Structure 1
């Protein structure tokens, strides 16, 4: 039996998938954070090795004939220390083929479709659209970080929700689902009365954390939208418009893959984006990406 290995390595977890060349799943594993950008190199290597070891359980590692590791920041592997540490760990597991690092954007696209050419729209903590040609990223839109862009991302959603809540606290006790949820999450309570102090408390609590932590408020927007909160629905519509416009900058033909935690877990935003894309490009398939390790395994199986 000839096998391929796909890895999805991130700042919170590492997932491994082993399949046959035609996609039949034969092993999987999961471990902790494996991106050396996010954690110390030794910890990253240990986590990735643990995930691969679990996936190889009961299998002959020599049967793995191709391997791809999807990871953000592939440039780190130009450092021989980083590349060598991972290579040694893979060799110790019995793998006899190199594990090729591939950017997480290409992997996300492959996780949605086996087609070699198309477009991927990603909204997670950040947001980016990318054109994929023969499995390689050839053009991008946005993806320039929370300070300058990432419109429609988890960070953007959280910032919009926080700003709305702060404005309300200056003038009235929040009544809507979204504003009350944000106040409760950040302050632990909904203030009894509107006041500058209540708003300043919220603002101070948010400024005390790294800016990207605003993305943790994004699920509150989705939950409030599902309950029919008009303020949340307005934010969802704005996010969908931003994301659809971003995609339009690079899309030409082929399928559109929706990926990233916002688009894969938030039904209101995914559905709003899909409606816009269906209207704008009615003949284009719009699909949701599967797990990143599946995309990596698909890339590993390509000639």
Structure 2
């Protein structure tokens, strides 16, 4: 006679899209689905709820299961962390899986749990935004950053891209030395001169956050090529991420924390990830055990203990 193996669902609603997985406690995958971004700050709460519920139903169909067979659901959605959107997360899950235990989380918590294979350690994230998040052995957590591009996000893709554009305009004024960033960034934006940045940035209804963040890899590339302005930006970015990390370590009274990296800027070797590794005393980027969607499933499994 085989023992009962409950099914749990993990939901990762990252900035680029949503992923849903159905697993058993041995982490065998029985169903999977993907969809567009479910960030309510981007698409609106109603549209985000619909995207999540559709992805949940598609994963159930792929697994050949009914919603009543799901014991628990772990969910982390960018722009809807449990600390401020827990009720919304529970309501969204209840619509598609009313009998399941809901474990509302955050995109950074499921990223840490997946990368470490457990809810413990310190995550440093640098993508469009930035933050550091940690959990100690007693289960206490601390978050530093995650305030968004208007208030903070230092060391993020947006911040690095914006510092690159500032270097361009300062060089144009003569306040700073010439930099290869001028040609590279203006070319990427299909602008002919620095003055064209004014209408591009201010005379449009489009929010340029992502457009600016997409310039960050170009800044990193110029830093690797030896451009002094780009090198200075990367050093400041690494310093800001290190400060956030050290603050998490201090708040949680950690002595020898295990680290995880997340976000497009820290997932591959580049001047920023290499500088942060050096500051943290790491020989290489920490290898992740699992992706964030499995981290969400692990949190669901924890709720059944």
CA distance in 2, matches of 1:63, 1:134: 32
Choose the corresponding residue for 1:67, options 70, 73, 81.
73
Judged with a 3 Å threshold, the aligned counterparts in structure 2 of structure 1 residues 31 and 266 are, in CA distance, closer, same or farther, namely farther
Q: Which moved more, 1:46-55 or 1:219-228?
A: 219-228
- CA deviation after TM superposition for structure 1 residue 247, in Å: 0.5
Matches within 5 A, 1:48-59: 48-56=52-60, 57-59=62-64
- CA deviation after TM superposition for structure 1 residue 222, in Å: 2.7
Q: Is the 8 A contact 1:167 1:199 kept in 2?
A: no
Judged with a 3 Å threshold, the aligned counterparts in structure 2 of structure 1 residues 183 and 289 are, in CA distance, closer, same or farther, namely farther
Q: Cα deviation per residue 1:135-184 (whole Å; 9 max; x = unaligned)?
A: 95622333333344322111210111101111223359x97543322111
CA distance in 1, matches of 2:40, 2:138: 24
CA distance in 2, matches of 1:29, 1:177: 43
Secondary structure at the residue paired with 1:48?
A: helix
Judged with a 3 Å threshold, the aligned counterparts in structure 2 of structure 1 residues 145 and 32 are, in CA distance, closer, same or farther, namely closer
Q: Cα deviation per residue 1:118-137 (whole Å; 9 max; x = unaligned)?
A: 21112222222122135956
Q: Cα deviation per residue 1:35-81 (whole Å; 9 max; x = unaligned)?
A: 334323442222112322332314324443221011233333425xx
Check if 1:151 corresponds to 2:158.
no
Judged with a 3 Å threshold, the aligned counterparts in structure 2 of structure 1 residues 84 and 112 are, in CA distance, closer, same or farther, namely closer
Check if 1:109 corresponds to 2:112.
yes
Check if 1:202 corresponds to 2:209.
no
Which residue of 2 is the match for residue 34 of structure 1? Answer: 38
Q: Cα deviation per residue 1:1-46 (whole Å; 9 max; x = unaligned)?
A: 4322110114542111222212233322101222334323442222
Q: Count residues in correspondence.
A: 285
Q: Cα deviation per residue 1:172-215 (whole Å; 9 max; x = unaligned)?
A: 9x9754332211123x14x4xxxxxx433223322345363422
- Structure 2: which 5+ runs fail to align? none
Q: Which moved more, 1:32-41 or 1:108-117?
A: 32-41
The two structures have a TM-score, normalised by structure 1, of 0.80
* CA root-mean-square deviation: 3.0
- Structure 1: which 5+ runs fail to align? 192-197
The two structures have a TM-score, normalised by structure 2, of 0.80
Q: Is the 8 A contact 2:70 2:97 kept in 1?
A: no
Q: Cα deviation per residue 1:66-119 (whole Å; 9 max; x = unaligned)?
A: 21011233333425xx7445412334xxxx313322122211211210244321
